[in-house]
């Protein structure tokens, strides 16, 4: 599924420009080291952490996009860094579990 | 031995060991240093080393890993690696940021491998061969067409400018940003 399509389907708020990528999986974590060790390229990262190191890790692993849960919003410099790295950030008021459920229901495995 | 396009990546992260980056400070000189601890509970005891007294100053969750070459079966440990510093986390007027920005135009993301300190206070060396393995490891994981990762050794002495406090705030292997100078 394409990232833009998924964002529209789940009514996610776009915090950055939405870059065209395929979503090939999901990884849920709030630890940068865990993301680097275990996430896969093309995964959508669901997290409550939105600092610059998360963008650095997401870029290193080739994460397709980030969903910030519980209404978290990144600072302007993090938005700039994400857009430069072509990493889409969405925001949702849902928590990580609720987001995981929605993603599963949407067919992302 | 891996063969053909379906064999998967040649280099894989193995023996992933979760733990903590422990930051400590010397009581009299104020010097700071860090090391990796795989203990279930991070050590916080003060201890004496010669004339120096080192106290716990903070920690961050992190991990260490080895890399396995599936062609040769060789496993390379990366115990000296403290983290990877993304150029985008560095000051915009720094050489690494300027270099990273140039590389970014070619879809190359630049990171710098920062190492732990040796017991004597100098930095642990990471060999050119190991830098090459790190580059292979992370580039083989990429899927975005044309995208590349370039991991450099710390040619810029960036470790001197890394704030140990940042490591305590953020988490993980890339838990480092250049310290903003006072008044900046």
Q: Which parts of chain A have pLDDT scores under 50? A: none
Residues A76 and A104: their CA atoms lie apart, in Å, by 31
Residue B163's pLDDT is what?
53
Q: With beta carbons under 8 A apart, name residues in chain B contacting A35.
A: 172
Collapsed DSSP state (helix, strand, coil) of residue B72: coil
Q: What residues does A43 pair with on adjacent strands?
A: A25
Per-residue pLDDT of B20-60, as tens digits, reads 888 888 899 888 788 889 998 888 899 999 999 999 988 77
The alpha helices in chain B, defined as continuous H runs, are 95-104, 128-141, 164-169
Domain assignments of chain A as residue spans, ordered by start = 3-105
Q: Which parts of chain B have pLDDT scores under 50? A: 1-5, 165, 168-184
Collapsed DSSP state (helix, strand, coil) of residue A8: helix
Listed in order, strand segments (DSSP E) in chain A are 13-14, 25-28, 43-47, 65-68, 88-91
Residue A95's pLDDT is what?
96
Domain assignments of chain B as residue spans, ordered by start = 5-169
Residue B52's pLDDT is what?
92
The whole-model pTM stands at 0.85
Residue B7's pLDDT is what?
65
User: Taking a C-beta distance cutoff of 8 angstroms, is the pair B117, B123 a contact?
Assistant: yes
Residues 6+ apart with CB under 8 A from A10: A92, A102, A103, A106
Residue B120's pLDDT is what?
66
Residue B76's pLDDT is what?
97
Residues 6+ apart with CB under 8 A from B36: B19, B20, B21, B22, B62, B64, B79, B82, B116
Inter-chain residue contact B13 with A37, CB threshold 8 Å? yes
B 48-67 residues inside an 8 A Cβ radius of A: 61-63, 65
Q: Which fold has domain A3-105?
A: 3.40.1390
């Amino acid at each position: 599924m394409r990232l833009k399509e998924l964002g529209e389907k789940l009514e996610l708020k776009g915090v950055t420009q939405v870059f065209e990528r395929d979503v090939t999986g999901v990884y849920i974590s709030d630890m940068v080291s865990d993301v680097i060790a275990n996430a896969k390229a093309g995964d959508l990262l669901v997290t409550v952490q939105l600092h610059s190191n998360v963008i650095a890790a997401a870029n290193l692993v080739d994460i397709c996009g980030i969903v910030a849960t519980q209404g978290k919003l990144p600072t302007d410099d993090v938005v700039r860094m994400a857009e430069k790295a072509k990493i889409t950030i969405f925001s949702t008021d849902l928590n990580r579990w609720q987001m995981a459920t929605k993603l599963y229901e949407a067919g992302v495995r | 031995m891996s063969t053909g396009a379906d064999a998967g990546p040649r280099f894989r992260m193995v023996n992933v060991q979760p733990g903590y980056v422990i930051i400590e400070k010397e009581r009299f000189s104020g010097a700071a240093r860090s090391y990796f601890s795989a203990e279930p509970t991070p050590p916080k005891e003060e201890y004496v080393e010669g004339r120096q007294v080192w106290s716990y100053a903070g920690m961050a969750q992190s991990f260490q890993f080895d890399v396995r070459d599936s062609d040769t079966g060789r496993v390379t440990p990366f115990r000296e690696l403290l983290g990877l510093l993304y150029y985008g986390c560095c000051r915009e007027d720094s050489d690494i940021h300027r270099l990273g920005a140039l590389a970014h135009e070619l879809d190359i993301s630049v990171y710098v491998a920062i190492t732990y300190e040796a017991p004597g206070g100098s930095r642990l060396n990471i060999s050119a061969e190991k830098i090459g393995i790190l580059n292979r490891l992370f580039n083989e994981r990429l899927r975005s067409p044309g995208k590349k990762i370039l991991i450099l050794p710390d040619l810029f002495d960036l470790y001197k400018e890394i704030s140990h406090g940042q490591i305590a705030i953020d988490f993980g292997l890339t838990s480092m940003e250049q310290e903003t100078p006072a008044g900046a």
